[in-house]
Amino acid sequence: MLGVPNAVVAVGVAVGVGFLLYVLMFGASSTGVIGKLHDWMCGCYCLRPITRRLCGPKCQRALQRAEDVCCYRPNPLLQLFYVALMAGGFYLFYNKSLPLVPNPRLHIIHRYNSYLVMSGGLFIFVLASFCDPGVITAANLHRFSRVPYDKVLYEPRFCRTCQVPRPARSKHCVICNKCVARFDHHCPWLNSCVGERNYRWFMLFLLYHSILCFYSSYIHARIIEHLALDVHRLDQAHYYDETGTPQAVTVLQGVQYLFVHHNMTMAIGIFCLVIGFALWGFWAYHMYLIWCGTTTNETFKWGDLKDELRHRMQRKQIERGEKVTKKVEVPANIYNQGLLTNLAEVLVPLSSRRANGFAPARSIGGAMLCFPCRAPPPGDTPGEVEPDAEPDETDSDDGAGLPGAKHAHAD
Ligand SMILES: [Zn+2]
Ligand SMILES: [Zn+2]
């Protein structure tokens, strides 16, 4: 029989693997310890000293090139890993767990549900991976220019690579090499940016897969209950101690017995529970960001701004000989419009709504299709690009008549 330490090691390994997967999956868009751990793991910093010693500089360069391709260029490696994980998980489930469904504790409906739930997961994965994240081009710029610059995190700027003025809340993704509206983060699992247009599908992906994992854990828990009580009758089992007295089997001994005889079923159930909580935690974190009216990218920016303001304040306090304090006031986040409005902007992105939101945005400086050029390229006429005479109330996708789309200059 599996000893207690072995059962603890098995659970520890499942939790450890789940934690490492969580860091790899979501660390890129996390701040704090998880983010640092992810950078350390993905940056191969942990392997560099070892590879340098073992393989020499040539191998080191090859590894760095591989790291560059895997971590800093668009590639489907993690997408393929997701598909392999789902396929492998379902293969094990099909062979080890599904033959035990139905049973007196699990209705036959769960047998058919499992196919449906897995197909749904793959469908949402494809949707989140291949849906446009909100790539900004000259033709659709007006659609993404409906929020004003806050002059704190965002100033009017021009993207030289994409040759478009950068709307507020957008960012040029160095991996995709595109400007993306309401940029949240680049998700290697989706091999795509998460931005204004696909943030809702990304959230659905997290929520759906966490529910999928919890559902799988529930199915496995009922299968294990069936095996323990109906098949092995562990509740009635007993053993003889050293004195020959019959003793009832304890819960821990029952769990050990099940680990020995149904290790795969137990492992799948525990693994799904760990991953389910990890996914749910990440979804809850993003719900918190929505509640605060911010994005992952902006969380980093707010953090940097706070640090900078604190350092400035503390420098002044030291110069004046005052007591150094840590608390610092940061400007208000104008993009936080309250939970319901923030949520509505995620579910129905501003760029997908009818165009009557464009004129009010322009009136408060949102539609910066006409910001002044600071350093006009040689040969170009210096000066400001003229704004439209009439506010754009049409719902046009071609960008025709939008001066910034065709005539904006680089700063
Ligand atoms: Zn760009
Ligand atoms: Zn990207």
Nearest ligand atom owner, CA of 171: 1
Residues whose beta carbons lie less than 5 angstroms from ion ligand 1: 159, 161-162, 172, 179
Please give the Cα distance from 141 to 406 (Å, whole number). Answer: 10
User: Which pLDDT score is estimated for 190?
Assistant: 94
Cα-to-centroid distance, 193 and ligand 2 (Å)? 4
- Residue 401: CB atoms within 10 A of its CB come to 14
Please give the Cα distance from 402 to 380 (Å, whole number). Answer: 19
Please give the Cα distance from 196 to 204 (Å, whole number). Answer: 14
> Model-level pTM?
0.76
User: Which pLDDT score is estimated for 28?
Assistant: 65
Nearest ligand atom owner, CA of 159: 1
User: Which pLDDT score is estimated for 110?
Assistant: 93
- Residues 82-105 as b/e (b if ≥16 CB within 10 A, e otherwise) read beeebeebbebbeebbbebbebeb
List residues with catalytic annotation: 187
- Residue 407: CB atoms within 10 A of its CB come to 14
Contacts of 268 by beta carbon, 8 Å cutoff, 6+ apart: 89, 92, 93, 96, 97, 216, 220
Cα-to-centroid distance, 262 and ligand 2 (Å)? 43
**Which residues make beta-bridge pairs with 192?**
187
Cα-to-centroid distance, 170 and ligand 2 (Å)? 12
Helix (H, G, I), strand (E, B) or coil at 193: strand
Q: Is-contact 155 368, C-beta < 8 A?
A: no
Q: For tokens 């789940």, what's the residue?
A: 18
Please give the Cα distance from 267 to 362 (Å, whole number). Answer: 56
User: Which pLDDT score is estimated for 311?
Assistant: 92
Q: Which parts of the chain register pLDDT below 50?
A: 1-2, 357, 367-411
Cα-to-centroid distance, 174 and ligand 1 (Å)? 9
**Which residues make beta-bridge pairs with 240?**
246
Cα-to-centroid distance, 199 and ligand 2 (Å)? 13
Nearest ligand atom owner, CA of 194: 2
Alpha helices (H) along 243-370: 251-261, 263-292, 296-320, 339-347, 358-363
Nearest ligand atom owner, CA of 162: 1
Cα-to-centroid distance, 236 and ligand 2 (Å)? 58
Nearest ligand atom owner, CA of 144: 1
- Residue 235: CB atoms within 10 A of its CB come to 12
Cα-to-centroid distance, 189 and ligand 2 (Å)? 11
Contacts of 394 by beta carbon, 8 Å cutoff, 6+ apart: 355
- Break the chain into its structural domains and give their ranges: 4-42+74-133+200-292, 141-168+295-332+349-411
For the stretch 322-361, pLDDT in tens is 888 888 889 999 999 999 999 999 999 998 887 654 555 5
User: Which pLDDT score is estimated for 326?
Assistant: 82
Cα-to-centroid distance, 190 and ligand 1 (Å)? 20
Report strand pairing: 157-159 vs 164-166: antiparallel
